[in-house]
Amino acid sequence: PEADCVLEDGAVRWGERVVPFTEVYDAAQQQGMELATEGRWGGTPRSVAFNVHGFRVAVNTGTGELRILQSVQAADAGVVVNPRQCRGQVEGGIAQALGVALYEEVRVNDAGKVTTDILRQYHIPSFADVPRSEVYFAKTNDQMGPLGAKSMSESPFNPVAPALANAIRNATGVRFVALPIARDKIYLALKDAAASTPTQLTRI
């Protein structure tokens, strides 16, 4: 009887008898039966933070130069207990994400060696590379977090590259699907797009 059976690691226990799953499956096959069951797992309850980002950019279609004119991020951090510290976390996430989106690229040669192994070849954002970002916090309250707060760990990082790619797409008409979106890649992609269309790209 099903009610008398207990599932164990790789087997079914019925009283003192332990039957491996393989034997249960073989017996079911011999009798023309189909084994089926249902299982559910809702996961561990946790807070979920949400961040959105927007950019205004200018692209020089002759050189591929990209300038960020405006950078805005809105964050759902629940009750912001320490606004200055949380804003710093968001700004740090934006800076890190801009590095991935615009500069940082791990290159590996045919021998499997990383060739961008020093900072002269692997550019990470300096203070001058990071534009000022406007940061806004949504007024929410989380039932699970301490004092109604949510975690802001990696959340600010997530929307930056997609938002930047969308802004570049809106400015140039060219969709970039790989990171980093470096200046030389922008130049070459615009050159290819101009060569494949009857009119030159002039939008900035």
| C-alpha closest to that of 73 among 136, 131, 129 | 136
Instruction: Give the side-chain half-sphere CA count within 13 A for 187.
Output: 7
**148 pLDDT higher than 80:** yes
Q: Give the H or E element holding residue 90.
A: helix 83-102
Q: Supply the pLDDT for residue 197.
A: 74
* pLDDT tens-digit map of 58-114: 999 999 999 999 999 999 999 999 999 999 999 999 999 999 999 999 999 999 999
Six token digits for residue 152: 């802001």
Whole domain around residue 11: which residue ranges? 1-36
Torsion on CA atoms 160, 154, 76, 81, rounded to nearest 10? -130
pLDDT of residue 199: 55
Regarding whether 94 and 32 lie in a shared domain, the answer is no
**Residue 154 or residue 36, greater confidence:** 154
Structural domain total, the chain: 2
Query: Does residue 114 fall inside a structural domain?
Result: yes
pLDDT at 77: 95
Higher pLDDT, 11 or 200: 11
CA–CA gap between residue 190 and residue 180 (Å, rounded): 16
Q: Rounded mean pLDDT of 115-134? A: 94
Residues 2 and 93 reside in one and the same domain: no
Strand-by-strand arrangement of the 17-20 sheet: 5-8, 11-14, 17-20
pLDDT tens digits, 19-50: 999 999 999 999 998 887 787 877 788 888 99
Tokens 């991020």 -> residue: 73
How much is the pLDDT for 55?
98
pLDDT at 203 over 80: no
Confidence grade of residue 142 (pLDDT, cut at 50, 70, 90) = very high
What span, in angstroms and rounded, lies between the C-alpha atoms of 96 and 90?
Answer: 10
Q: Residue 72's domain is classified under what CATH number? A: 3.30.365.10
Q: Is 57 a residue whose pLDDT tops 90?
A: yes
**Residues 23, 73 share a domain:** no
Whether residue 25 is found in the same domain as residue 55: no
What does the DSSP assignment read for 164-184? HHHHHHHHHS----SS---HH
Note whether residue 42 is domain-resident. no
